[in-house]
Every structure is written in structure tokens, then in C-alpha cells.
Amino acid sequence: MKTSPSLASLLALHIAVLINIVTPLAANPVRPVTELIEQLSKTAGRAPARGATEALEQAFRREGAAALDAARRGGLGLPEAAARHGDDVFRFAVRVPEAAPALAARADDLLPLARRHGDDFLKLEARIPGLGDDAVQLYPSGGDLRRLTALPPDEARTVVSYAAHATDAKAPRLLLDAVVRGGGEVLRQLDAKKILALGLSSAMVIAASGGAVAVASAPESFIDTLQALGLPVSSATAIVILACGAVLALALAKRLNVSSRKTENPVRTQAD
């Protein structure tokens, strides 16, 4: 008569199978990791630093193929940085793959800032290397960093450079608002030598933007600027000033447009 195996026997068999599967995996890195480490070492022309293979293996078990993709982008330096600094290196590299090379090269400097300011800081640093460190001092909020990252690199660098010379607390944000709305023309209206010598004020930004562009995003700065000049300006007065300025700007634009057409067609103008 056949008897069914006991529960204890089945449990023992199950444990034995698990031991046979898990032990080799625990003792040796998984194959994709060793193969990639060999490739990265060949590209770098040197052997990996101590702990790099283990760091990539842990990231692979945690993040899957995304960890391998990040290592391919960052090179051998990325798992080496993870060996020194821990799991955060691959966590950030997987979330912001374009920042993997920067993390590989400058994890000592970038990780503390990335932990404080998040992925937006790394995205800026990846797009415009070297700018993130200064930018977060002036624009700590994620929204401002995203807007700065969206600007052309030259404009973003100029914004940060000018904002670093601000003479009042509102000028950096006002400048970013003005450039996002008005483009590089706002920066071309500013005098770099004057900013370096005297600093950047909210009044300078408002003047460079034609008033309405920057004021639309921060009307309180416009009022504060007028009051700083010694003018007892209320919100209502400021609105009247802005309205008059807008009318004058529109009239000037129309006049310039008419003059431009006359210049382009002098013969027709004389005939008329």
C-alpha cells in the first residue's frame, strides 16, 4: 500500500531546493553583471575598484535592467561611485539616466545636493554641467529649476550669472520670470558691465523687460521698486502706470511699424 509523503518531508524537500538555487546566486554575481563589468573595464582600460561589481549586482537585483542601462551610460565610474556612496547613486541614475555620467564623475559633490533638491537638480546638471551648484543657491524650488533647465543653455547660464549679483531678494526670481516669458531679448537689454559693477536690481529687470512682462508675474516687485525710489505708490497707482505704459508701448510699436513700411517702399510713398 502506497503512502503519501508527510508534510515534514515535503517541507524538507522544498528547503533543499531553495538552498540549491539561492546559494550559487549569493556566492557569485549574476552573469549580466559580470559581463557588463568586463565590458566597462575594457572600455576604461583598467580593473574595477573594490566593491564595484558587488554594487552593480545589488543595483541589478533591486532595479533590474535599468541599473545595467545606467551603468552603460555612466561607465565604470558609476558602480565604483555606488561602492563608495551607497544605493543612492543607482537610485538617482535610474530615475535620471542622463545624469549617470555626472554622478560617475562627481558623486562626491552632486549626491548631497541631489538628496536635498531631488531629480530636478540632476536634470539641470546633466543638461548644463557645472550650473546646478550655483543655481540651487538662487532657485531652490523644483519649479524654478525646471524652468531654468528648459531655457537654452547660454540663457540659463546668463540668468544664473546675473542673478548671483542681485541687490534685492526678488530680483533673481523676477529675472527668471522675465526671461521665461520674454526670451533672450530681456538679457540683451541688460548691461553686463553695469550688473558686475553695481549689481542686479528688480528695477533693472523691469526696465529691461519693458515693464509688463515681469510685472505680470510679480506685480508686488514693481510696486516695491517704485516705493524704493521714494514714490508713494499704491497698488491702484501701479496699475494706472502699467496701463499707460502699455498704451505708450503699443503706440510706439505702431509708429515704428509704419516707419519701417515707408523705408521699405520709398518709391511708392513718394508716388502717393
Residue 150 in grid coordinates: 528648459
Q: Residues of the chain with pLDDT > 70: what percent?
A: 67
Domain assignment present for 108: no
| For residues 248-261, average pLDDT | 46
* CA distances (Å), origin 117, targets 20, 79, 83, 95, 151: 45, 23, 23, 14, 19
pLDDT tens digit string along 66-119? 999 999 999 999 999 999 999 999 999 999 999 999 999 999 999 999 999 999
- For residue 187, pLDDT over 60 is answered with yes
Q: For residues 216 and 81, which has the higher predicted lDDT (pLDDT)? A: 81
* Across 156-170, average pLDDT: 96
Q: Helix crossing, 88-95 with 77-85: angle to 10°? A: 130
On the question of pLDDT at 251 being above 90, the answer is no
pLDDT band for position 19 (cuts 50, 70, 90):
very low
Q: Which of the four pLDDT bands, split at 50, 70 and 90, describes residue 141?
A: confident
When pLDDT is cut at 50, 70 and 90, the band that residue 3 belongs to is very low
What's residue 183's pLDDT? 87
SS (H, E, C) 100-164: HHHHHHHHHHHHHHHHHHCHHHHHHHHHCCCCHHHHHHHCCCHHHHHHHHHCCHHHHHHHHHHHC
Q: Is residue 210 part of a domain?
A: yes
Within-domain flag for 243: yes
Mean pLDDT of 16-36: 62
Q: What local confidence, expressed as pLDDT, does residue 227 receive? A: 54
Domain-located, residue 120: no
Q: What is the pLDDT of residue 210?
A: 81
Domain that holds residue 193: 151-258
Instruction: Let me know if residue 75 belongs to a domain.
Output: no
Beta-bridged to residue 200, according to DSSP, are: 166
Residue 102 lies in a domain: no
Judge contact between 164 and 191, C-beta under 8 A.
no
Domain assignment present for 66 = no
- Nearest in space to 51 (alpha carbons), one of 89, 86, 25, 24: 86
Domains: count for the chain: 1
Predicted pLDDT of residue 40: 96
- Look at residue 5 and tell me if it is in a domain: no
List of residues 6+ apart from 213 with CB closer than 8 A? 177, 178, 181, 182, 186
pLDDT for the residue 216: 53
Q: What does the pLDDT average to over 166-194?
A: 94
> Predicted confidence band at 253 (pLDDT cuts at 50, 70, 90)?
very low
Are the beta carbons of 87 and 59 closer than 8 angstroms? Answer: yes
Taking 60 as the threshold, does the pLDDT of residue 174 lie above it?
Answer: yes
* Nearest of 58, 63, 90, 85 to residue 74 by alpha carbon: 90
Asked whether residue 2 carries a pLDDT value surpassing 60, the answer given is: no
